Amino acid sequence: MKEETFNSNGRFHIYILANARYGLTSMGITGDLIGKIYSYKKDVSRKIINRYKIHNLVYYEKAKNMTDALKRKKQLKSLSRKKKMELIDEINPEWKDLYYEIIL
């Protein structure tokens, strides 16, 4: 199966959502970052995300293909919670919702 099957534009993103600063987080990969985050915000996604209101995009990065995205996600998931929080702090110290920046 070709990687392009997942995303015809060749854009892949690893993202972290949070419900509050240093709160609960969820990590994922998508080929449509804006569409994916929109679906979280409109509560049409997984129940655990909706139950705890994990809707704020606090971190994302691009990957050149799905293989690299999967490797990076695995690498990020292996980090301790403290290291993940430090990573978000480094990129987004205010933990603001980056969704509103990427849709402009």
Query: CA-CA distance, 2 to 43, in Å (whole number)?
Result: 31
Name the one residue in this structure whose structure tokens are 């293909």: 65
Contact by Cβ (8 Å): 85, 15: no
* Grouped pLDDT means (10 residues each) for the chain, 104 residues: 44 95 95 90 69 90 95 97 97 96 88
Q: What does each C-alpha distance from 94 to 3, 22, 31, 42, 60 come to in angstroms?
A: 35, 11, 26, 23, 15
Residue 45 confidence (pLDDT): 59
Residue 6 confidence (pLDDT): 46
> Which of 53, 54, 63 has its CA nearest to residue 30?
63
Q: What CATH number is associated with residue 17? A: 3.40.1440.10
> For residue 79, how far is the Cα from the chain centroid?
15
Domain count, the chain: 1
| Domain hosting residue 39, numbered range | 3-102
Residue 20 confidence (pLDDT): 95
